[in-house]
Amino acid sequence: MYLYRLHKNIHLTISLLSLLLLFAVITFWGGSNSKLILFTQDIVTLILLFSLTVQIKEYIRKNKISFLSLTFAVASLLGILLMTIWFAQMFMDQLIQKLNSEISIFSFTSNLIGTVYLFLFAFGTAAVFVVLKEFYFSRRTKFNPIYFRLLIIFGILSAVSFTLFKDFNESISIGFMVVTILLIIQNSLGISWIAFLTKREKYKLLIISVVITILASVLIGYTSSETLHAKTLMTYSIGFYKLSVLVLTYAIIYFGVLLFTVLFHLPTAEAFDRKAEEVSSLHLFSSLINQVLDFDELADTITDLTRKVSGADASWFVLKNNSDFHTISQKNISANDVDAINNYLLHSGDCKSLNKAKICSLEKTIVKNSLSEQFSSVIIAPLRTQSEIKGYLIAARKSGLLFFEDEAKAINAFSDYASIALENSRLLKESIEKERLEKELDVAREMQKKLLPASDPDLKEIQICSVFIPAFEVGGDFYDFYTDKKEEFSFVIGDVAGKGISAAFVMAEVKGIFESLTKILSSPKEILFKANQILARTLHRKNFVSALYGKINIARSEFEFARAGHCPAILIRDGELFTYQPKGLALGLDFTESFSDNLEEVKITLEKNDTLIFYTDGITESKNKFNEDFGESRFIDAIKTHSHKNVNQIAQEIISQISLFTNDSTQYDDITLLILRWNKN
Amino acid sequence: MAEFNTTLKEQGDISVIKLKGFLDAHTAPVLESKFDELIKKNKYKIVVDFQDLAYISSAGLGVFMAYIEKVRENQGDIKLASMSDKVYNIFDLLGFPLLYEIFKTEEEAIKKFSE
């Protein structure tokens, strides 16, 4: 199991092996001055360091540790190393001394402790180095890995050269070290990653880099060759000792530079934060435009973003509704304060009627005293469509500080986006509502169409022509023919008060009532009376129905009709026109006896070529663009002029007269026209 | 379509609603809310002045039907006044003069209440 894991992690294996090797070398040849032994120690330690750095780097990459956390880790590691040194000095003084003096003598315990000590420092050094390397390779504007590679090469050279050239010329290794330190300085300049930290993070980083610089300096202090620490490390590897000094130097220089860089960044940190916020808000603006399905959500986003872009404490917006303003989605402010500020801004004060965002101070105004919180400055920006101002976007700040011009500009830009989004949302809502109404009207129109006769009856004695022109909103006109009875032709024409789907439902009911009554009763008056009685049970008072029921007895050439509040009947005989308007209440107005008391029946004996005309008020109340009615007189004139023609032609002429008059004005009510001509002698 | 509005005038315990413009299916709710308002305040003596009314559709007439029962149950009435011939004809055609008292002037209608 263990072996398997070791096999999987080759670097861990190498680390452990090199530690063992080092332990063995010290055990057998400890204290030897042989160059070969010392060089072997250096190489083994370098391998250990290398394997450690690889593992640490993998760990950092895998867990995506943030730079701030890395600096914190470096500080902690350095702290631990320092504690180790102190601990070692306090308790292991004896032990180390023993190790040093009896280095040639086999001392298992002291060697073991020494190896662990070395490992600890090797790990610390490797970790600090890896972090510094990560920093170097991040967010470089001019990416140049050659300097870092040179740094590593010279670092290793200076470490190894101490052992190799120890006897004859130390200046070579000192030369290498100087070059390394110069490279360190070169690599520590141009730290750019801190620019993207927030103000808070910059403060944290400032403190950590101070701590790191101090810790690293103290640690360097312990590396002077006389200390126990230095002696212990040198026992194992002189190269590593030199390397640890170099890495510490690197840490001091890098974090020292970092310290000053952060320090210089601090004054602009806030401005930088806000700019970054503005840039990210800009991105949000564009998403705003798509967020139009839910108005409330959109309103919330708008006020949230308003506060974000301007750094305001409170925000809200008002929309114009006729002459009033409605407050929508206020954030961080009480309704009373909003009302007070609105009142001041929109009705008094110098901030009304503006065409771009304006900063208004509330200091020294009467409003200030009436507010429950200390709002001192506001930005008000108009929400515009192309043609008009739909409302205002308002941001308020407490703290006694005024807003700045750039914040007003940001709000101004934002208000343009917000008004587009709001307008889109409104249009969408409108079109959804319109579509719903249209669907409803489609159903009503369809119903009406199915309730009306599909075609005019074809009778020998009576020529029949009916014209029905529905209004867009369904006016409630209906008519029906009954030809089931022998020697009898009956019809009904009527108009339900109201429009749309509710009128269509009443129509359906009325049609059913007449259809059944016409089978069992024959007098028009009786039929209307009964219909009124039946409707009493269901009809809402405001949905009354006007109707005219007529019956022609074909054998006796007799026309009989009664009128329940409907338009009069017209008879043309020999070019002369007679209007019949017998008494009669509309159905559904009165359910007492008074209905039948006031219902008159008219009987006319028909002569050949008599023309009977029935209609609904859609004809006489057709309007032109000046809102004038087509009216009875125009209607009668049209009938008179064309009465000698056949029924279809008469109908056609009347309708064309109406359309000439209305001339494309909207038709508000259904138009129904029924023309009968008596063909029998 | 065209505009419609109402003005309310109180004369003692009698409320006079003056209609103006076009009363049809679209503007009927305006008048309905006026009646609701009066009934809520227990004002059942109502005179409707038609002087400035240009047009009334069947849906407009329906408004009067919707409230008349409730008003009369409470010993009140809706009396109509100052109709133009055109508006009167529409009322007449449907038989409304049988159901409502219609007066030439607003004063006559008010006077009728105090009798």
A62: left (phi over 0), alpha (psi -120 to 50) or beta: alpha
Rounded distance, CA A419 to CA A295, Å?
12
Yes or no, beta carbons of B99 and A590 under 8 Å apart = yes
- The CATH fold of domain B4-114: Transcription Regulator spoIIAA (3.30.750)
| Contact of B4 with B22, CB cutoff 8 Å | yes
Yes or no, beta carbons of A546 and B58 under 8 Å apart = yes
Yes or no, beta carbons of B94 and A581 under 8 Å apart = no
Over residues A110-134, the mean pLDDT reads 85
| Contact of B92 with B59, CB cutoff 8 Å | no
- Going through A539-632 in order, the beta strands assigned E by DSSP cover 545-553, 558-564, 569-573, 576-580, 601-605, 611-615
Identify all chain B residues contacting A615, using CB atoms and an 8 Å cutoff.
none
**Closest chain A C-alpha to B66 CA, distance in angstroms:** 5
**Amino acid at position A441, single letter:** L
Element spanning A9, H or E: none
B73 touches chain A (CB under 8 A): no
Give the pairing of strands A545-553 and A558-564.
antiparallel
Confidence of residue A95 (pLDDT cuts 50, 70, 90): low
User: Which carries the bigger pLDDT value, residue A327 or residue A173?
Assistant: A327
B39 touches chain A (CB under 8 A): no
- The CATH fold of domain A452-678: Phosphatase 2c; domain 1 (3.60.40)
Query: What CA–CA distances, in Å, run from A663 to A381, A670, B3?
Result: 46, 16, 21
Count A/B contacts: CB-CB distance under 8 Å: 79
Nearest by CB to B94, from A473, A542, A565: name it. A565
Task: Give A 491-530 residues with CB within 8 A of chain B.
Answer: 495-500
Rounded distance, CA B89 to CA A425, Å?
46
Q: What is the pLDDT of residues A278-310, one digit of tens each?
A: 677 667 776 676 676 788 888 888 888 888 878
**Closest chain A C-alpha to B55 CA, distance in angstroms:** 9
- Residue A488: pLDDT over 80: yes
A668 touches chain B (CB under 8 A): yes
The complex's ipTM works out to 0.88
Query: What CA–CA distances, in Å, run from A222 to A84, A154, A248?
Result: 12, 23, 11
Name the 3-class secondary structure at A10.
Answer: helix
- CA A323 from chain centre, in angstroms, equals 29
Confidence of residue A106 (pLDDT cuts 50, 70, 90): very low
Rounded distance, CA A483 to CA A488, Å?
7
Task: Give A 551-570 residues with CB within 8 A of chain B.
Answer: 564-568
Q: What is the pLDDT of residues A590-599, one digit of tens each?
A: 888 889 999 9
Mean pLDDT, chain A, integer = 84
| Domain segments of chain A as ranges | 2-272, 291-430, 452-678
Element spanning A540, H or E: none
Identify all chain B residues contacting A583, using CB atoms and an 8 Å cutoff.
95
Q: What per-residue string of b and e applies to B78-94 under the rule 16 or more CB within 10 Å gives b?
A: bbbbbbeeebbebbbbb
Listed in sequence order, the DSSP H helices in A343-385 are 366-370
Q: Which residues lie closer than 8 Å to A621 by C-beta, 6 or more apart?
A: A629, A630, A668, A669, B55, B57
Q: What is the pLDDT of residue A105?
A: 44
- DSSP state string for B49-98: EEEEEEEE-HHHHHHHHHHHHHHHHTT-EEEEE---HHHHHHHHHHTGGG
Yes or no, beta carbons of B58 and A566 under 8 Å apart = no
Rounded distance, CA A179 to CA A151, Å?
8
What's the CA dihedral at A526, A531, A537, A538 to 10 degrees?
Answer: -170
**Closest chain A C-alpha to B105 CA, distance in angstroms:** 24
Beta bridge partners of A397: A377
| Contact of A569 with A580, CB cutoff 8 Å | yes
* CATH code, A291-430: 3.30.450.40
Query: What CA–CA distances, in Å, run from A349 to A345, A367, A507?
Result: 6, 10, 59
